[in-house]
């Protein structure tokens, strides 16, 4: 129970730190417009539709560096699947689509650490290592440890799913329950809490800037080519 209590409050604290950090960053995104050089910022549905494959396939990164793109795309796609798969611990009843992706989400869990290893190797050895920043390595290493702990748990020490569900349901209501008696689970959970406040702001900002860049490229065609002129 004590461990459950500690873990619950640690989770609340980590989540609060993450939420406050993101809110502090997001607040200036809503400032009024009117500065020189600003482009139109409203949503344009055609541009939104055009941006979807750009964002989902990380196409700008592909154009910049296909070698690193391979690792990054596989990592982001598998992370997304793993997160969706984990929703089964948070939702009750569990929606059918989450049950449906359990298998593929499980496979993604094995692929994720491999993609992280690939990224680290490419960045460190082949890809102008001197321009990689320590924070990026910290995040990559953090995700690698979390996903490795997940793989170990899934392969060798499968924890009691019901215990986990009870613990999470209690934590969501800030009502402490006993922590699952699985050391791999506790390590996995703690590692997630450690990296949560350090998650990069680009997870929210990059899809928006990619959308804006697509719109800007389109507007460039009209900037001095369009309009009725002599």
Partner 1 sequence: MAENRNKKMFGGCLSALQHMELDACTQCGECLKNCPVQEVTGNRQVSPPAKIRAFRDFIKKTRGLKSFVLGARDVDRGLLEDFTRAVFECTTCGACGKACSVGIYTQRLWPMLRREMVLRGIGPIEAQRDMPEDVRRTGNPYGKPAAERFAPWFPAEVKVAEKAEIGYYTGCTGAYDAIPMVKGDVTVLGKIGRPFTMLPPEEEVCCGFPLFVTGQFELLEGLVKRLVEGYTQRGVKTLVCSCPCCVNMIARDWPHFYGRKLPFGIRHISQYVLAALEEGRISPTAPVAESIIYHDPCYLSRGVGITEEPRAILKRIPGVQLLEFTRNRANSRCCGAGGAARKVFHENAVAIGRLTIDEAYEKKAGRLVLGCPACYGKVNEAMSGYEKQVKIVDVMELLSGVL
- For partner 1, the binding residues (CB under 8 A) are 20-21, 24-25, 28-31, 33, 35-39, 41, 58, 60-61, 63-65, 68, 127-128, 130-133, 135-136, 200-202, 204-206, 208-210, 212-214, 216, 220-221, 223-225, 227-230
CB atoms near residue 15 (< 10 Å): 14
Check residue 226 and report its DSSP letter.
Answer: S
* Sequential DSSP letters for 150-196: HHHHHHT----HHHHHHHHHHHHTT---PPPS-HHHHHHHHHHHHHG
Check residue 30 and report its DSSP letter.
Answer: G
Task: Please say whether the beta carbons of 81 and 67 come within 8 A.
Answer: no
Least Å distance, CB 15 to partner 1, is 15
Q: Which is nearer to partner 1, 103 or 202 (CB)?
A: 202
Q: Which is nearer to partner 1, 65 or 161 (CB)?
A: 65
Q: Which is nearer to partner 1, 38 or 96 (CB)?
A: 38
Least Å distance, CB 58 to partner 1, is 7
Q: Which is nearer to partner 1, 120 or 186 (CB)?
A: 120
Residues 120 and 115: their CA atoms lie apart, in Å, by 9
Least Å distance, CB 12 to partner 1, is 17
Residues 223 and 218: their CA atoms lie apart, in Å, by 9
Least Å distance, CB 226 to partner 1, is 9
């Amino acid at each position: 129970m004590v461990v459950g209590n500690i873990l619950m409050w640690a989770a609340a604290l980590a989540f609060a730190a993450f939420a406050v950090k993101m809110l502090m960053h997001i607040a200036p995104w809503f400032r009024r417009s009117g500065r020189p050089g600003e482009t139109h910022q409203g949503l344009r549905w055609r541009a939104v539709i055009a941006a979807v494959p750009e964002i989902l396939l990380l196409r700008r990164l592909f154009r910049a560096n296909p070698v690193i793109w391979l690792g990054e795309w596989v990592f982001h796609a598998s992370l997304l699947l793993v997160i969706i798969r984990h929703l089964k611990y948070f939702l009750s009843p569990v929606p059918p689509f989450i049950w449906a992706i359990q298998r593929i989400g499980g496979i993604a869990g094995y692929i994720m650490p491999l993609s992280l290893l690939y990224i680290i190797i490419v960045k460190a050895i082949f890809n102008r290592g001197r321009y990689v920043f320590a924070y990026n390595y910290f995040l990559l290493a953090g995700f690698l440890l979390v996903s490795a702990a997940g793989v170990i748990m899934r392969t060798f020490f499968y924890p009691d799913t019901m215990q986990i569900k009870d613990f999470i349901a209690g934590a969501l209501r800030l009502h402490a329950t006993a922590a699952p008696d699985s050391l791999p689970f506790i390590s996995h959970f703690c590692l997630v809490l450690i990296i949560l406040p350090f998650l990069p702001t680009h997870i929210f900002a990059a899809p928006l800037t990619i959308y804006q860049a697509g719109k800007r490229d389109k507007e460039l065609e009209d900037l001095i080519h369009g309009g009725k002129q002599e």
